[in-house]
Amino acid sequence: MELSPYVDGLRRELSNLTRLAPSDVTRVVESLAEALDSSVRLMLLDVIAATAAEITSRLDGTVIDVRLTGGVPEFVVTVPPQHEAPAGYPTAGAADDSVTARITVRLADALKSRVEARAAAEGLSVNSWLVHAAIRALEDAGQSAGRRSGPGAGQRITGYARS
């Protein structure tokens, strides 16, 4: 993506704004436009990178990077390979759903960072990791509901003791 047309467009706009101004003002504006060239290019790169990051955050595992090649920004799209769930993870069929539903989950920043790190370490997207975690939690809850456990965290023991 070439940035020059956008920088040139900004220069034209500045020139149009000063077309009725005295020549000394026009020279000052032209000098400012020339001096701002690199700053405008950097700002455009920031906008492009922020846009790519926002789009990436809405995709499931696909990453959009912005790379500079000879000063020209270029988009690189990386799609994760489709692979089987790691050992110990339930498969997508374990949910017994042929139709998916969308939900919004709000997480504290610290928890979100931990989830992202764990998902990346296990080679999964955050969405896939959360789905697998929910399936495991439901399977574990179903298995533990039928058995009686001894005292543990959250349980209270009362009585007397002699020594």
The predicted-structure confidence for 45-95, as pLDDT tens digits, reads as follows 889 888 888 888 888 778 888 888 887 888 888 887 665 555 555 555 544
pLDDT, residue 88, reads: 59
pLDDT, residue 8, reads: 87
Q: Is 124 exposed, middle or buried (0-12, 13-18, 19+ CB in 10 A)?
A: buried
CA 77 to CA 81: how far, in whole Å? 13
Count Cβ atoms below 10 Å from residue 58 Cβ, excluding itself: 7
The structure's pTM equals: 0.45
pLDDT per residue as tens digits for the range 117-158: 988 888 888 888 888 888 888 887 776 655 555 555 555 666
CA 53 to CA 34: how far, in whole Å? 30
> Could you tell me the two tokens for 80?
């994760």
pLDDT per residue as tens digits for the range 12-58: 888 888 888 898 988 898 888 888 888 888 888 889 888 888 888 88
